[in-house]
Structure 1
Amino acid sequence: MTLLVNAGPAGAETLRLLALGDSLTAGYGLAADQGFAPQLERALRAQGLDVRVINGGVSGDTSAGGLARLDWALADKPHAAIVELGANDGLRGLEPARMQDNLDAIVGRLKSRGVKVLLAGMLAPPNLGREYGDAFLAAYRQVATRHGVPLYPFFLDGVAGQAKLNQKDGLHPTAEGVTVIVERIAPSVARLLKDDGGKR
């Protein structure tokens, strides 16, 4: 993927933001410049932030998959990270407690490397029942609380269930859907980056 790089002040370091996730961050079904990472990068740069968004999304990944490849993702030495995992755990009906353990390990390892984290939550499929859904939501809240990181409650806020903003499968956002996601999450990401100050 070709990412834009703007010239910043002399000696300033471009912030590296890792989007660690699944098909929702990978840009499944979209042109290379219309996925989450490039759209978010453009939105943040429009706010004057000198940032490169690293697309760490792998379609089909569960929270366990994200944990397994975390060291590889850290090779880019990100300053900050958005952790967007769990949608496939829910689609497969995997145990929320296991997802919580995986997310806990991911966030803990990122923080141990000096990486600031924004945890992006997900909702479980409604057909799995209220008890499962409640436990699924609680997993994100508990990880965020334990590690003292901000939680963006629902990554697909404003897009889930909106046919015109999703591809034919009803699961993956269109380019327009990604634009809505970016518009809603960008303020939280900008706060994370500004707090980071480009230092590790």
Structure 2
Amino acid sequence: MESPVGLRDAAARYGRGVAVLHLLIAGMLLFFSGAARAEALVLAFGDSLTAGYQLKPAESFPAQLQAALRKEGRAVTVHNAGVSGDTTTAGRARVDWVLRGLKRKPDLVILALGANDMLRGQPVATAQANLDAMIGGFRKAGIPVLLVGMLASRNLDAAYRRAFEGMYPTLAKKHGVPLYPFFMQGVAGQPGLQLADGMHPNAKGVGVMVRGILPSVRKALPR
């Protein structure tokens, strides 16, 4: 039979072993929870230019942006919340349920709407009010916003073009959010970077869009 002293020593060793095990488990939990928190979530909220009209999922703007950011070593997921044909009115109507459907609050929203309002000749005041409400809602929820602008078609009335193109910097200034002036920069008017419709980017064109906006996304992402 083991002596009382030996039993006490064994009990002490057992207690120390359990304590070390608990510390290891706690450390692992902290590590993995920290890793999960470290992965940024970007919400790409827009129309067909965001959704990836007639493109494979991996060729879409959100997918290519995610790949570009990850290539830089950033832990990030870019959620595709683009809907082809969306106007600012339609986007405003669905923004709440899109946010509710996410696992957590985004670290950044890339808001790229207004092109379909312009193409349908809808009042600029309506588009501006919708974007104003969406940006305000995101900001109130503590979600940073990168506003993405569009240029109006050259065949539209000059006054309409000025009003439409002016609403983006006006909203960016009002809300204090960064603005990327033209989503289709480097792609518009380039047949080799567009689909046959001459309006939407092909996969290569999306790559040009991603490279153009990437510095703005880097800067807008919380550190």
TM-score scaled by length of structure 1: 0.91
Q: CA RMSD in A?
A: 1.0
Aligned: 1:89 with 2:114: no
Report the equivalent of 2:211.
183
What is the 5 A alignment of 1:53-132? Answer: 53-75=78-100, 76=102, 77-132=105-160
Bigger Rg, which one: 2
Question: Which whole-Å CA distance do the structure 1 matches of 2:97 and 2:217 have between them?
Answer: 22
1:174, distance to aligned residue in structure 2 (A): 0.2
Identity %: 52
Which deviations, in whole Å up to 9, do the C-alpha atoms of 1:119-141 show, x marking residues without a partner? 00001111112111100011111
Question: Which whole-Å CA distance do the structure 2 matches of 1:127 and 1:180 have between them?
Answer: 25
Consecutive unaligned residues of structure 2, counting only runs of 5 or more, are 1-30
Query: Aligned partner of 1:109: which letter?
Result: G
Question: Which whole-Å CA distance do the structure 2 matches of 1:150 and 1:32 have between them?
Answer: 27
TM-score scaled by length of structure 2: 0.82
Say which of 31, 42, 48 aligns to 1:17: 42
1:112, distance to aligned residue in structure 2 (A): 0.7
Q: How many aligned residue pairs are there?
A: 187
Report the equivalent of 2:189.
161
Q: Secondary structure at the match of 1:20?
A: strand
Query: Aligned partner of 2:95: which letter?
Result: L
Question: Which whole-Å CA distance do the structure 1 matches of 2:96 and 2:79 have between them?
Answer: 14
1:144, distance to aligned residue in structure 2 (A): 0.5
Which deviations, in whole Å up to 9, do the C-alpha atoms of 1:36-58 show, x marking residues without a partner? 01000000111121110000100
Consecutive unaligned residues of structure 1, counting only runs of 5 or more, are 1-8
Say which of 40, 47, 52 aligns to 2:65: 40
Q: Secondary structure at the match of 1:138?
A: helix
1:97, distance to aligned residue in structure 2 (A): 1.1
Which deviations, in whole Å up to 9, do the C-alpha atoms of 1:21-67 show, x marking residues without a partner? 00000000001100001000000111121110000100000011111
Question: Which whole-Å CA distance do the structure 2 matches of 1:163 and 1:73 have between them?
Answer: 34
Question: Which whole-Å CA distance do the structure 2 matches of 1:158 and 1:147 have between them?
Answer: 27
Higher helix share: 2
